[in-house]
Amino acid sequence: MKEHETDIGNKKAVYAELQDVWVSYYNKWVLKSICLKCYQGEILGIVGPNGGGKSTLLKVIMGLVRPQKGVVKLFGHRPDKHTRLEVGYLPQISKADRSFPVTALDVVLMGLYSRVGFLKRPGNKSRKVAMEMLDRINMAEYAEKSFGILSGGQQQRVHIARALASKPKLLVLDEPSTGVDSVAQEDFYELLAKFRDEMNISVIMVSHDIGVITAHADRIACLNLQIHYHGEPDSCFEPEIMQKVYGKNLNIMVHDSRCATCLKKHEHND
């Protein structure tokens, strides 16, 4: 993992880039002068407080929110119809209808529709890919179950499988671990790392769990209105940066059993 971080320099392709992006809702800035790069083959973690603009930032990348100012580039150029095929997205709050008459497998198949193409139906090959993906997320036994009867966490896993199914070059995940139990979370992050290593894909992932981010992200961006830090996770935990990003209630964020850096810092302080 270390060597992975170090060779992200100028060699690697930039898969997602924001240049001086500004976004406002009702005359209030929610993103100010955002510059961000996500390289090929890295997991970029985004942390920040509630309302800090993380979801908005992802929506800008996905083209769901148009910035007032600034440039978004995917795979080196302006997003168009073709780039969409290469991006998988998992929204923070799924607007999917719980009582929808589909199976878990049907939902994962939807992730493949754009690959299947207009006027065509997903065939056996797509089914196989979708099944594989459900299997990797440990949901294979639920493939033929109705989506509506699954638990919230199981549904989230199905959504994750849907986002991964088309094997996108860039995965944009808004709090993917919401409602997913910790064993499944570990599996999921391992799966992400595997995807990154096998297929050299990039992942942009928002999480509130700093422990998770330090353990699994190659680089990190701390966001609260502006980007306060953009780099490797370890040095993010400078008190000044944390103070800027999270304000006074910093301790809430710093306590985390899995976060070695944070623990060290605490021992230091005590």
Partner 1 sequence: MIEIFSFEFMRNAFMAGIMLSPVLAVVSFFVVLRRLSFVGVGVAHSAFGGIALGILLGISPTLTAIAFAIAVSNAIGYTGRHGKLNSDTAIGIFFAFAMALGIIFIGMSDQYNVDLFGYLFGNILAITGEDLIIIALLGGLVLISIFLVFKELLFVSFDREVALVSGMPVAFLDHFFFTILGVSVVISIKIIGIILVSALLVIPGAAASQITDRYIPMIAIAIAVALISTVGGLFFSYYADIASGATIVILSCFIFFILFIIGRCRK
- Under the phi-then-psi rule, with left for phi > 0, alpha for psi from -120 to 50, and beta for the rest, what region is 41? left
Which listed option, partner 1, Mg ion, ligand ATP, none, makes contact with residue 51 (CB within 5 to 8 Å by class)? ligand ATP
Per CB under 5 A, contacts with Mg ion among 47-66 are 54-55
Using the rule CB under 6 A, is 37 a contact of ligand ATP?
no
Helix axes 152-165, 124-136, angle to 10 degrees: 130
Q: Contact with partner 1 (CB under 8 A): which of 84, 167, 230, 258?
A: 84
Torsion, CA 198, CA 178, CA 253, CA 223, rounded to 10: 70
Using the rule CB under 6 A, is 91 a contact of ligand ATP?
no
Using the rule CB under 6 A, is 55 a contact of ligand ATP?
yes
Which listed option, Mg ion, partner 1, ligand ATP, none, makes contact with residue 98 (CB within 5 to 8 Å by class)? none
Q: Contact with ligand ATP (CB under 6 A): which of 14, 30, 140, 193?
A: 30
Of 133 and 245, the one with the shorter C-beta distance to ligand ATP is 245
Using the rule CB under 6 A, is 228 a contact of ligand ATP?
no
Per CB under 8 A, contacts with partner 1 among 101-120 are 101-103, 106-107, 110-111, 113-114, 116, 118-119
Using the rule CB under 8 A, is 85 a contact of partner 1?
yes
* Distance from C-alpha of 176 to C-alpha of 168, rounded to nearest angstrom: 16
* Distance from C-alpha of 268 to C-alpha of 182, rounded to nearest angstrom: 28
Tell me, residue by residue from 124 to 153, as one string, x for binding to Mg ion by CB under 5 A and - for no binding: ------------------------------
Least Cβ distance, residue 59 to partner 1 (angstroms) = 9
Q: How many residues bind Mg ion (CB under 5 A)?
A: 3
Give Cα separations from 223 to 33, 63, 115, 117, 240 (angstroms). Answer: 11, 19, 33, 37, 14
Tell me the window of 22-30, 93-101, 206-214, 254-262 that interacts with partner 1 (CB under 8 A).
93-101
Which listed option, partner 1, Mg ion, ligand ATP, none, makes contact with residue 45 (CB within 5 to 8 Å by class)? none
Using the rule CB under 6 A, is 177 a contact of ligand ATP?
no
Which listed option, Mg ion, ligand ATP, partner 1, none, makes contact with residue 235 (CB within 5 to 8 Å by class)? none
Q: Contact with Mg ion (CB under 5 A): which of 33, 92, 94, 103?
A: 92
Using the rule CB under 6 A, is 226 a contact of ligand ATP?
no
Which positions lie near Mg ion, rule CB under 5 A?
A: 54-55, 92
